[in-house]
Amino acid sequence: MKVALVMGSASDWAVAEEAYRTLKGFGVDVEVKVLSAHRTPDELREYVLTAKDVEVFIAAAGKAAHLPGVIASLTVKPVIGLPVPAKHLYGVDALLSIVQMPPGVPVASVGIGEARNAALLALEILSLRYPELERALKDYREELKGKALGVKIDV
């Protein structure tokens, strides 16, 4: 099981690290790369085209956020866009860039800055092939349920 966590900039790590930690916590191999759709397009293309053992891509990008779309244009493997909040538009620009892909080149998206959800979506995709991940995800959901039911509000 291998997920590629690709960031358009090293500064995206502040958000993307949670996806890395979540994937590693489920025992998934994660390859982390900083490759820009704009500044390193040749290197990005080479990486995607040669990443044969990668099963899912998570692409973290802010502002114009072309990274997930460029990756999706180069592979038929699942691509999950992780919009990274930026200074001026707080990630709304990245979210809109990711979800407005042309017909035929889909990119999944999670909420702005929601790295854990990007990892969990990648895990759900992988669980179609790896039953042990499906079991681990079900256990995780039960744990979340227990936490939610255990909340007490003093009024």
Q: Is the pTM of this model over 0.75?
A: yes
State the distance between the two ends of the chain, measured CA to CA, in whole angstroms: 47
Task: Give, for all 155 residues of the chain, the pLDDT tens digit.
Answer: 899 999 999 999 999 999 999 999 999 999 999 999 999 999 999 999 999 999 999 999 999 899 999 999 999 999 999 999 988 899 999 999 999 999 999 999 999 999 999 999 999 999 999 999 999 999 999 999 999 998 888 88
Q: Give a yes or no: residue 82 inside a domain.
A: yes
Q: Which domain holds residue 44?
A: 2-149
- Mean pLDDT score of the chain, rounded to an integer? 96
Q: What is the CATH number of the domain that holds 73?
A: 3.40.50.1970
Distance, CA of 67 to CA of 82 (rounded, Å): 10
Q: Give a yes or no: residue 81 inside a domain.
A: yes
State the total domains in the chain. Answer: 1
Integer CA distances (angstroms), 79 to 15, 39, 145, 147, 155, in order: 17, 20, 28, 30, 45
Q: Give a yes or no: residue 154 inside a domain.
A: no
Q: Give a yes or no: residue 155 inside a domain.
A: no
